[in-house]
Structure 1
């Protein structure tokens, strides 16, 4: 099968270094989310400036520097979808990023998980295509293995409850059928997203550290889809608090060895 043809050759026809040079002094830690609204509201709270530009085919991505005290964190609005998201992160690695805090919504597969609550994946079921170009074929990929202890300790210190489990990553949201959902739940998935398995595979391939987490949005069930807080304009205060947590953890992680 074509997705089983993983090529170990680290040199591709087009490489990030063919398009971008490293940026001297680029922040070692970056924070990113998928919601344009949440990202814009985060920037409003801090002094920031554009420190890099990159693009993915038909859109430009601005990378901002946020300086807090003697620390500087890079921040960018990640594109939705595994291929685009991974492509932009490749460029950030080339600029000089070594650690990434990435967060966004997910659909929950358990109605007891409350809306806008934090979920941390420990593994991702690989139901997209991008990850197979970064790791050999397998059903799943580990996520957050190096960052999990520190992130959990951070959440405990701030008295933030969270749920841990596997995520089902798919790049075809309109093909999340009931039978597929049942199989993914049986495999241990508690939520669904569109990027996690691909970003985790990229992290393993390129050797950068990743802290990827979600906040619960819509609920997928056998009876009826419940959109809950999926809209970018719903429950903004809670999402602002999550964005602030991500930034504060990025600052903590920047100081960690």
Structure 2
């Protein structure tokens, strides 16, 4: 099929570069955490905060310290397009190493609420990644980032699995047939950002690892919320793991 997403112009420069829209004269630390848990970000005590421009209004990026190391933290919205915009702008401001941490839907019953998943690959059922990486069904995660994240989880004695995620744009079109097909090809969770973030990091030459928190469930006949947004202690703990992983790289 002659789809626009399959047009390969990856070697062509974009008309709008992120350096054109970020605040001038601002540099961020080389390390950053993309934290998809808004209550965790709201509870931070930053040493300084900058704001990125957005149609949603000024968007805060906090700089915190962990063991004397500066880390930039942003809640990058929801979905691949918006999170990629913020990742692009962080890179333009000097970020070179990133850990993303957020929630995902469980596709298999053994992943109970709060179980950690280190993303090793993602099925690309979204559109953004195709503007950054050659067309393909699956994209592999950065092995260096994965190793750093896994080592941090091991040191913290946090149980986790290393596995594939299914990244989709359409949260309300996750049908049983699609879930079954994704499980058959090795996906254990579904999210909305991972494959795109992996593609952008590779395109821009920065390190990125992705840590997912098993939240709601699509493993049964009906969707279950499982109260995953109220698991505050687990979400805060995984954020600290992400900070430690990016700090020690």
Check whether TM > 0.5: yes
Partner of 1:173: 171
Partner of 2:48: 49
User: In the alignment, which of 94, 97, 115 is matched to residue 96 of structure 1?
Assistant: 94
CA contact (8 A) 2:36 2:77 kept: yes
TM-score calculated relative to the size of structure 1? 0.91
4+ residue runs of structure 1 moved beyond 6 angstroms? none
Task: Supply the distance in 1 between the matched residues of 2:109 and 2:25 (Cα, whole angstroms).
Answer: 45
**CA offset at residue 48 of structure 1?**
2.6
Task: Supply the distance in 2 between the matched residues of 1:70 and 1:82 (Cα, whole angstroms).
Answer: 32
CA contact (8 A) 2:152 2:241 kept: no
Count, aligned residues? 247
- Superposed counterparts of 1:1-257, under 5 Å: 1-20=3-22, 23=25, 25-41=27-43, 43=44, 46-50=45-49, 52-231=50-229, 234-253=230-249
Task: Supply the distance in 2 between the matched residues of 1:10 and 1:93 (Cα, whole angstroms).
Answer: 19
Task: Supply the distance in 1 between the matched residues of 2:21 and 2:27 (Cα, whole angstroms).
Answer: 19
**CA offset at residue 10 of structure 1?**
4.2
Q: Compared with structure 1, are the counterparts of its residues 47 and 200 closer, same or farther at alpha carbon in structure 2 (3 Å cutoff)?
A: closer
Task: Supply the distance in 2 between the matched residues of 1:10 and 1:173 (Cα, whole angstroms).
Answer: 32
**CA offset at residue 168 of structure 1?**
0.2
User: What SS is found at the alignment partner of 1:104?
Assistant: strand
User: What SS is found at the alignment partner of 1:56?
Assistant: coil
Task: Supply the distance in 2 between the matched residues of 1:26 and 1:214 (Cα, whole angstroms).
Answer: 25
Task: Supply the distance in 2 between the matched residues of 1:169 and 1:124 (Cα, whole angstroms).
Answer: 6
User: What SS is found at the alignment partner of 1:59?
Assistant: coil
TM-score calculated relative to the size of structure 2? 0.93
Task: Supply the distance in 1 between the matched residues of 2:194 and 2:22 (Cα, whole angstroms).
Answer: 25
User: What SS is found at the alignment partner of 1:30?
Assistant: strand
Unpaired segments ≥5 residues, structure 2: none
Task: Supply the distance in 2 between the matched residues of 1:137 and 1:79 (Cα, whole angstroms).
Answer: 25
CA contact (8 A) 1:30 1:100 kept: yes
Task: Supply the distance in 1 between the matched residues of 2:129 and 2:27 (Cα, whole angstroms).
Answer: 30
Say what the alpha-carbon RMSD is for the aligned residues: 1.6
Q: Compared with structure 1, are the counterparts of its residues 181 and 74 closer, same or farther at alpha carbon in structure 2 (3 Å cutoff)?
A: same
Q: Deviations over 1:62-112 (max 9, x none)?
A: 111113453211111111110010011101000000011110000011111
Q: Deviations over 1:190-215 (max 9, x none)?
A: 10000000000101111110011101
CA contact (8 A) 1:23 1:96 kept: no
Task: Supply the distance in 2 between the matched residues of 1:22 and 1:165 (Cα, whole angstroms).
Answer: 39
Task: Supply the distance in 1 between the matched residues of 2:84 and 2:34 (Cα, whole angstroms).
Answer: 12
Q: Compared with structure 1, are the counterparts of its residues 6 and 193 closer, same or farther at alpha carbon in structure 2 (3 Å cutoff)?
A: same
Unpaired segments ≥5 residues, structure 1: none
